[in-house]
Amino acid sequence: MLAYEAMTMRTILSLAAVLLIAVAGPAARQPQPPPAQPAAPQPPVTFRAEVNYVEVDARVLDAQGRFITGLTANDFQVLEDGQPQKVTAFSVVNLPVERAPRPLFASRPIEADVATNLTGVDGRVYVIVLDDLHTNVQRSPRVRAAARQFIERYVGANDLAAVVHTSGRSDAGQEFTNNPRRLLAAVDKFMGRKVRSATLNRIDMEAMTRGQRQQGDRIDDIDDMERGYQARSALDSMRQLAQYLGGISGRRKAVVLFSEGIDYDITDPINSRDASTILSATRDLISVATRANVAIYGVDARGLGGLAEEGIEVASFPDDTTLNINSGSFQNELRLGQDSLRVLSSETGGFAAVNSNDFATAFQRIVDDNSAYYVLGYYATNDRRDGRFRTIEVKIPSRPDARIRARKGYVAARGRASEPRSAGPNDATPELRNVMTSPLPISELPMAVTAAVFKGPKPNGSVVISALVAGPALPLVEQDGMFRNHLEMAVVAVDQKGKTFTPGRSTVDLNMKPDTAKRVQALGFRVISQLDLPPGRYTLRVGAREGNTKKAGSVSYDLDVPDFGAEKLLMSSIAMTSAASAVAPTARSKDPLQQLLPGPLSSYREFPQGDEVAVFAEVYDNSGDQPHRVDITASLKAEGGQSVFATSEERDSTELKGSAGGYGFAARIPLADVAPGLYVLRIEAQSRLGDRPSTAREVVIRVMPPPQ
């Protein structure tokens, strides 16, 4: 599934609060509509987090290192501080690594333009943390290469990953997504900004003060204050990230930390002014991570190279041996940094990959750790909020030969638990607020979402959003011959800087006759909304809550709004509907496509044989006043590359005189004679000007056998 995108640190830490504010406005009443889309399987049950609820992941291996399957809750014994605990929630997680499907003739996967929550989160959850505060700028390419390797080879199509920079760069992170293009783009922006080596600073200071001081006088690091500040900043950022990830339960959360580690000397609190605060910040991070069941995997991208770049800068070491400035000083910096990675990793249930150029083995081990394990949940008998460390021991009495990997324990919370926020009379319901502020999409109410972007009021794009709630998950209550429910929906777009845009919260009273109710049960209910957004990259969160059982769900959508005036030729999204999908009842209080498509914008991408698909796109021609023509073609190609449909139009630039729009292109594709299978719909435009600029969009669809 497509999922909630990865985030910049600043966005990750503020998104929950931002979304809460954005959906809390008064409800905008929508008129009685027609209804929308297909049924989804019942989503899996997830665990509920309470004050004294504890989850522990147990990876159980045999003597050959293979995962042992078939165990039940009764096979496990969980001890906290030596006291037996009752396992009240149990789950087996055994996740395949899926690869994105693509038609055989496509050179790369074609990004889906529909996001759903139908399967919940059915893959691993990674946060790739790029520690720019503790990476030498010269070694930035190594970090980018290692992180790209992890994303390209080890993050599956069913996984969710986010990219975070410890400095909090608002322009360089990526929210949770399974879109590798977005993840790689965030990695490519990485640039280290580590403070210069303390050893190099001391060597320079010794040379500058030689002859002006007594032998044996201490030489301090002039960047000590900034080094301490960056260490605290990185640790505090990761602590807040771990706290945010604590909102995900029933699932292991992996933080893959690409860092050279914190090389601040915490062993010398007398001469290192920030030693005690950094030690305290490290403990706080470990405390929060263990409570949130977040495993940290430290990866030192230097490999076996160590501090080679720093060593090149040294012409000679001081003759005064009492200063302890020598080649061993570099080794001490290396040891301090790598030890910090080892501590964070081992204390949270992960491991550190240091002093090795074999990242493939480490990455595969991370995947294995997060692919097959047992989740054991219990309510701790010791519910005191005393901030003390509680040991956890997991045993399988019937399998003494089994090797069990589980976290060693956690640090209990301290102080009083915060009171839940109560809803005011004009607030969104608690259920809708919860799904809109969840770190990941929620599948309790199955939904599918698509968004089509067209040129809007300059410089904005006009985004048309189609959200479909699955029919079988939308219970209807009969009253006086009518079938009723109440649907509450919210749409929020968040840009990279955490700024929110929303068309508002809406409500729809479903009060339907029996024939309409049957269509809703079979096809679902669709809501169309519209939003103008400036050019940029967004996370679009769509949430819905139905009133009869109070179930709610959410979907996250990767949304890119182009600057439609930036290039000579650009194309909108491909808007799509079909005769079959148009039957789904739909609420569309504001729909710019209503006069351009024969039916509502659809999130269906599977169509029965015999259906007819209608598409619409706009081509924006910014080539200037020179008269010219533009060729627009649409084609539908099968897996082998053979074309089963094609049409074309020739357009003249004089059509656009005095218009801020583009060439509107519409086509209808009959599927009566199209065999079942996977197809690529491609719309392409090419100008006949000298440099022949072109633009294209592609969408994958599937033709299904006709219903029996």
Q: What is the pLDDT of residue 659?
A: 66
Q: What is the pLDDT of residue 520?
A: 93
pLDDT digits (tens, 9 = 90+) for 338-369: 999 999 999 999 999 999 999 999 999 999 99
Length of the chain equals 708
What mean pLDDT do residues 393-421 have?
83
Q: What is the pLDDT of residue 439?
A: 86
Contact 522, 560 (CB under 8 A): no
Q: Given the structure tokens 């032998």, which residue do they identify?
A: 215
Q: What is the pLDDT of residue 202?
A: 87
pLDDT digits (tens, 9 = 90+) for 285-319: 999 999 888 999 999 999 887 777 887 888 888 87
In this structure, of 47-56, 243-252, 586-595, 699-708, the range with the lowest mean pLDDT score is 47-56
Q: Which span out of 61-65, 206-210, 237-241 was modeled with the highest average pLDDT? A: 237-241
The contacts of residue 355 (CB under 8 Å, 6+ apart) are: 300, 303, 304, 338
Flag whether pLDDT at 22 surpasses 50: no
What mean pLDDT do residues 43-68 have?
74
Strands 125-130 and 253-258: parallel
Q: What is the CA radius of gyration of the chain?
A: 29
Contact 346, 338 (CB under 8 A): no
In angstroms, the CA 225 to CA 637 distance is 62
Q: Assign 517 a pLDDT band (cuts: 50, 70, 90).
A: very high
Flag whether pLDDT at 51 surpasses 80: no
In angstroms, the CA 75 to CA 60 distance is 12
Sign (positive or negative) of CA dihedral 250, 256, 262, 263:
positive
Contact 482, 593 (CB under 8 A): no
Terminal CA-CA length for the chain: 28
Flag whether pLDDT at 42 surpasses 60: no
Q: Which residue has the higher pLDDT, 317 or 602?
A: 602
**Among candidate residues 462, 707, 680, 490, the one with its CA nearest the CA of residue 609:** 707
> How far, rounded to the nearest angstrom, does the alpha carbon of residue 161 sit from its chain's CA centroid?
5
Q: What is the pLDDT of residue 489?
A: 93
| Structural domains of the chain sorted by starting position, each given as residue range(s) with its CATH number in brackets | 1-16+61-101+135-417 (no CATH), 430-704 (2.60.40.3880)
Q: Assign 330 a pLDDT band (cuts: 50, 70, 90).
A: confident
User: Rounded to two decimals, what is the model's pTM?
Assistant: 0.85
DSSP-assigned letters across all residues of 676-688? SEEEEEEEEEEE-
**Among candidate residues 302, 260, 59, 258, the one with its CA nearest the CA of residue 150:** 258
Task: Give the chain's mean pLDDT.
Answer: 86
Contact 34, 515 (CB under 8 A): no
What mean pLDDT do residues 239-261 have?
92
Q: Which residue has the higher pLDDT, 490 or 625?
A: 490
The contacts of residue 117 (CB under 8 Å, 6+ apart) are: 1, 43, 441, 442, 443, 446, 447, 553, 554, 555
pLDDT digits (tens, 9 = 90+) for 99-153: 776 666 666 778 899 999 987 778 899 999 999 999 999 999 999 999 999 999 9
In angstroms, the CA 147 to CA 299 distance is 10
DSSP letter (8 states) at residue 599: S
Contact 578, 602 (CB under 8 A): yes
DSSP-assigned letters across all residues of 8-70? -HHHHHHHHHHHHHHT-SPPEE-----------PPPPP-PPP-TTEEEEEEEEE-TTSPBPP-
> How far, rounded to the nearest angstrom, does the alpha carbon of residue 331 sit from its chain's CA centroid?
37
In this structure, of 57-66, 119-128, 283-292, 596-605, the range with the lowest mean pLDDT score is 119-128
pLDDT digits (tens, 9 = 90+) for 261-270: 999 888 877 7
In angstroms, the CA 267 to CA 278 distance is 11
Q: Which residue has the higher pLDDT, 321 or 536?
A: 536
What mean pLDDT do residues 185-210 have?
90
Q: Which residue has the higher pLDDT, 668 or 246?
A: 668
Percent helix, strand and coil across the chain, each to the nearest 5: 25, 35, 45
Long-range contacts of the stretch 228-231 (C-beta < 8 A, 24+): 228/264, 228/272, 228/273, 228/274, 228/277, 228/278, 229/274, 230/133, 230/134, 230/194, 230/195, 231/133, 231/134, 231/262, 231/264, 231/274, 231/278, 231/281
In the chain, the amino acid numbered 316 is S
In this structure, of 34-38, 253-257, 399-403, 598-602, the range with the lowest mean pLDDT score is 34-38
Residues facing residue 447 across a β-bridge: 469
pLDDT digits (tens, 9 = 90+) for 604-662: 999 999 999 999 999 999 988 889 999 999 999 998 889 999 999 999 998 887 666 78
Task: Give the Cα-Cα-Cα angle 620, 623, 629 (nearest 5 degrees).
Answer: 80
Residues facing residue 334 across a β-bridge: none
Phi-psi region of 640 (alpha: psi -120 to 50; beta: other; left: phi over 0): alpha
